[in-house]
Amino acid sequence: MHDRRIPEWLRHAPVPSVRGFAVLAGTEAVARGILVSVFPLVMYHTLGDARLVSAVYFAIGVASLLAGLMIPYLIRFVPRRWVYVAGTQMFAGGALLTLLGMPAAVVAGLALVTIAVVTCFVCFNAYVLDYVAKIELGRLETSRLFYSALGWTGGPVLGVYLHGWWAPAPFVIAAVAAYGMLAVFLVMRLGNGRLITRARVAPANPFGYFRRFFAQPRLVTGWLFAVIRSCGWWVYVVYLPIFAVQAGLGDQLGGIALSMSNAALFLAPLMLRFMQRTSLRMAVRTGFVVAGGLFLLAGLASGLPWLVVLSLMVGSAFLILLDVSAGLPFLLAVKPSERTEMSAIYSSFRDVSGIVTPGVAWLVLFVAPITGVFLAGGAGLLVAWGLAGTLPARLGRARIAVEPAAAPLTAHGRAEAV
C-alpha cells in the first residue's frame, strides 16, 4: 500500500530521451554562446597583441587536451555524475573569475571555462552513447543543433552588446546558465550511465586506450573530421572579431556576424534531410569543399573587408552542415564497451583544434596579416574534403534514416562551435 503512494517517476527513473539531451545541449549553448564573441575581444584588449592572444589560446588548448584525456581515468575513481557537476561549477567559476579584469584573472577564467567545456562534453557524449540508439544519432545531432540555435544565434551579438553596456553582464549570465545546465542534468537523473561489462581488464595507463583508437581507421578519420571542422570554427570565432577591430569595422561586428551565421542552425532539419536523400559522404564532402573555398576567398580579399566578412559568414553556414554530419562517422563506429574512453578521444578534437589553430595562426602572423589565417583555415578544410572521399558511399544510410512515425524534426537540434 505504501509503495502505491510513491510517484512512478520517483520509483523508476525514466529513460533519457533525445529531447532531454537536446534541452541539456541547448542550456549549454546559452552559457557558451553569450561568451563566444566576448572572450576574444576581452583577450585582445587585455593583452593588446594578436600573437600573444594566439600563444595564450595555444597554452590553454594543451592544458584542456590533457584534462580531457584524463577524464576516463578520473571516472574510475569519481562517479561520472560528479565529474559532470564539477564541470558546470568550473564553468560558472571561470566566468565569474574573469570579472576581476586583471590579465592573470582573464587568462585563468578562460582556462577554467575551456576545461569545463571539455569535461562536460566527454560526459555528455558518454551518456549519449549509453542511452541513445545508433539509429537515433542523426536525429539527436539535428535536435542538439535546433535546441541550441537560440543560444548560439542570440548569444554572440547579445554578449558583445551587453559587454559594451556593462562589462560583467555576459559573464554573470554565463554563470547563471551553467547552473541551469546543472539543474537540467539533475532533472534528467542520468546517474553514472549504463554499466558495460568489458571483455578484458581496462588498462592501468590512462592513455592505454589510444592503441585501440589508432587500430580503428574509421574512428581516426571521424576524429580528423571533427578536428578540422573545429579549426574552421576557431578561425571564424576568434580571428574574425580581431580582423574586424583591425579593419576599423568595430568591436560588435564579430558578435553580429556569428549570431547571423548561427541562424542557419534553424535549417538543421533541412540539412538532415539533404543528408538522408543523398548520403553521409556527400553531406560531409559538400560542407568541407564549400566552406574551404569561401575561407580561401576571404583570405585573398584582404583589401575588401566586407567581402572578407561575407565570405566567412557564408562559409560558416557550411560548417554548420558539418556540425550535423561530420561527427557521425565517429559515433557510428564506437563499440559499446569503449564509450567513455572513446568519448574522451572524440572530445579531444576541440582541444587539438585549440592547439593547432592558434599555433598555426601564431606562425602565420609573423609573415602575413590576419587574412593569412583565413587562407590557412581554408586549406585545412579542403584537405578534409579530400579525406572524406575515402568514406564508404553507404555509411550510416540505415542509421541516419528517420522512420515515418518519428517525431517531426522541426522540434529538434545544435552542434559544436568553439
By the 8 A CB rule, do 118 and 351 touch? yes
Number of domains in the chain: 1
Residue 280 lies in a domain: yes
Tell me: the pLDDT tens digits for 43-61?
Answer: 888 888 878 888 898 899 8
Residue 6 lies in a domain: no
Q: What are phi and psi of 278, to 5 degrees?
A: -105, -95
Per the listing, cell 558539418 goes with 322
Percentage with pLDDT > 70 across the chain: 83
C-alpha cell at 404: 515515418
Residue 94 lies in a domain: yes
pTM confidence score:
0.71
Q: Is residue 215 scored above 70 in pLDDT?
A: yes
Q: Would you state the pLDDT for residue 62?
A: 87
Residue 401 lies in a domain: no
Q: In whole angstroms, what is the distance from residue 411 CA to residue 146 CA?
A: 7
Q: Is residue 196 scored above 50 in pLDDT?
A: no
Residue 407 lies in a domain: no
By the 8 A CB rule, do 20 and 188 touch? yes
Q: Is residue 410 scored above 80 in pLDDT?
A: no
Domain holding 173, by residue range, is 16-197+208-396
Per the listing, cell 583565413 goes with 374
CATH of the domain at 251: 1.20.1250.20
C-alpha cell at 47: 593583452
Whole-number mean pLDDT of the chain? 81
pLDDT classification of 28: cutoffs 50, 70, 90: very high
Residue 266 lies in a domain: yes
Q: Is residue 402 scored above 60 in pLDDT?
A: no
By the 8 A CB rule, do 64 and 118 touch? yes
Q: Is residue 404 scored above 90 in pLDDT?
A: no
Q: What is the DSSP string of 193-210?
A: ------SSPPPSSTTTTH
Q: Is residue 199 scored above 60 in pLDDT?
A: no
> Of the ranges 165-174, 201-210, 260-269, 367-376, which one carries the lowest mean pLDDT score?
201-210
Residue 46 lies in a domain: yes
Average pLDDT over every residue of 340-357: 79
C-alpha cell at 1: 500500500
Residue 268 vs residues 174, 325, 416: alpha-carbon distances, Å? 25, 10, 13
Task: State the CB neighbour count (10 A cutoff) for residue 191.
Answer: 13
Q: Is residue 87 scored above 90 in pLDDT?
A: yes
Tell me: the pLDDT tens digits for 294-342?
Answer: 999 999 988 899 999 999 999 998 998 898 887 788 877 777 667 667 7
Residue 390 lies in a domain: yes
- The distance from CA 81 to its chain's CA centroid, rounded to whole angstroms, is 20
Q: Is residue 238 scored above 90 in pLDDT?
A: no
Collapsed DSSP state (helix, strand, coil) of residue 76: coil
CA nearest neighbour of 351 among 126, 193, 116: 116
> Of the ranges 139-143, 216-220, 301-305, 367-371, which one carries the lowest mean pLDDT score?
139-143
Tally of residues, the chain? 418
Q: Would you state the pLDDT for residue 92?
A: 96
